[in-house]
Amino acid sequence: MRTIRLLLLTILVLAIPAASFAQFGVSVMIAPPALPVYTQPMAPAEGYLWTPGYWAYGDEGYFWVPGTWVMAPEVGFLWTPGYWGWGGNAYAWNGGYWGPEIGFYGGINYGFGYGGVGYDGGYWNNGAFYYNRSVNNVNVTNIHNVYNKTVINNTTVNHVSYNGGAGGIAARPTAAQETAAHQRHTPPTALQTQHVRAASTNHALLASVNRGRPAIAATSKPAQFRGRGVVAAKQAGAPYKAAPNQAAATRSNENKAAAAKAAATRSNENRAAANKAAATRSNENRATANKAAATRSNENRATANKAAATRSNENRAAANKAAATRSNENRAAANKAAATRSNENRAAANKAAATRSNENRAAANKAAVTRSSENRAAHAQPAPRQQTAPRPEARPQSVPRPATAARAQPAPRQQTAPRPEARPQSAPRPATAARAQPAPRQQSAPRPEARPQSAPRPATAARAQPAPRQQSAPRPESAPRPERKAPGGKQ
């Protein structure tokens, strides 16, 4: 008998389209109750996606799995709900799954965005999930990624919870839904599995107890059946029809062992799949995070390099402008300073030239006065030479140069003793006595150093210093000499 039942179950699985059953589970002969009417609890935080409630089958018959908010296992993944489908002689459960697109879920109208085809409750955008407030209960104070899009919900009219069979939804998967069914899928998360297990052990959730109206219709988080966030059903989706006791007992006895074994198998498979999926997600998240970090690093580096280049160009332009300004200012200051120094130097040169000209003129005047005084004194002292009688032949030579002969004879005058006697002879010239005072200077030895200013005269004086003049004693006795000197001296 058991072999026959297994054979029938195999035929049932083969009869159901592959696209319709993403995960084949238990099968029963009685259709599940209608979906209850309830409100959705508020979303706990961003990133949670709504998974609608459904009727599951256990050892004691159908029991309600409350709808709940669940964190998506990966960014960009959406939840495709499971559904009951008629396979010809039994109803089989097709488990839900996570994937990048919504697949076929039997055309069942679970509400809250799951109207039978696709999902109108929200979408992913740049790593964030945006909620449609027209079908989702979200707190806009805490969740800002929201929008409003009207969705027609026929749950008040049709609460059928299965596809095919008597009274079931007559829907078949589209080509796009079949493609989505063959994409990469992720099984329910560990929290979802725990949520189903907790519901299976809650006696109040049995359809035979709550008669299609469960006291825990939905929760804000998985496996939390008490406290805030727990919502009770408002009413049953349709009048509840109890299954025949004999059939229920038969199915219960037959499926008890199979269900336990299948549950254990699914638990192990789910655990292994969950671990593998967690590891895969961890690796993918790590790779994505590393890639994003590398991208941000490259973008930040490019931005920093661009900003640095911009600052460098701006600084270079500012430096060039400042350098040009300083160069112009320095050039103007240098030109002004050069002009000032040129004017000052010119004024100083003119002043120095004027000073030197005045000094030279004064020195020249002083020298001229001194020479004039000396010449005057020299012309006034030729008396001793006129008295020399023995030099008549030399007198005609000294007639044209009386002043020169006087300058060249200071040394012999100092040595001649008779000179004091000749000075009294110049008594008739008191007016020129002041100018003839240089005689003491002629007696001093240093005086010849001042006379060499007139270089030509000493040479002539050398010729006018014959030894006989200095040694001749009879010079004072010659009386006729003063008469010849009268034209040259101013007496």
> What is the pLDDT, as a whole number, of residue 433?
38
State the number of CA atoms in the 13 A half-sphere of 404 facing the CB: 16
Residue 388 domain-assigned (yes or no)? no
Q: What is the pLDDT of residue 262?
A: 64
- 54 falls within a domain: yes
3-class DSSP assignment, residue 329: helix
24 part of a folded domain: yes
Question: How many separate domains does the chain show?
Answer: 1
Tallying the residues shown for the chain, one arrives at: 491
Is residue 459 in some structural domain? no
84/8 Cα distance (integer angstroms): 18
Question: Is 295 among the domain residues?
Answer: no
Going 266 to 268 to 270 to 276, the CA torsion angle's sign is negative
CA distance 287 to 279: 12
Expressed in percent and rounded to 5, the helix, strand and coil fractions of the chain are 50, 10, 40
| Pairing label, strands 97-99, 78-80 | antiparallel
Residues spanned by the domain of 30: 2-243
- Given a cut of 50, the residues of the chain with pLDDT beneath it are 1-24, 155-156, 245-250, 253, 387-390, 392-400, 402-412, 414-418, 420-428, 430-440, 442-456, 458-468, 470-474, 476-480, 482-483, 485-491
20, part of any domain: yes
Contact between residue 110 and residue 82 where contact means Cβ atoms under 8 Å apart: no
What would the pLDDT profile of 201-215 be if each residue is shown by its tens digit? Answer: 999 999 999 999 999
417, part of any domain: no
- C-alpha 328/C-alpha 73 separation (Å) is 70
Q: Would residue 274 count as lying in a domain?
A: no
pLDDT at 290: 81
- Full-model pTM: 0.48
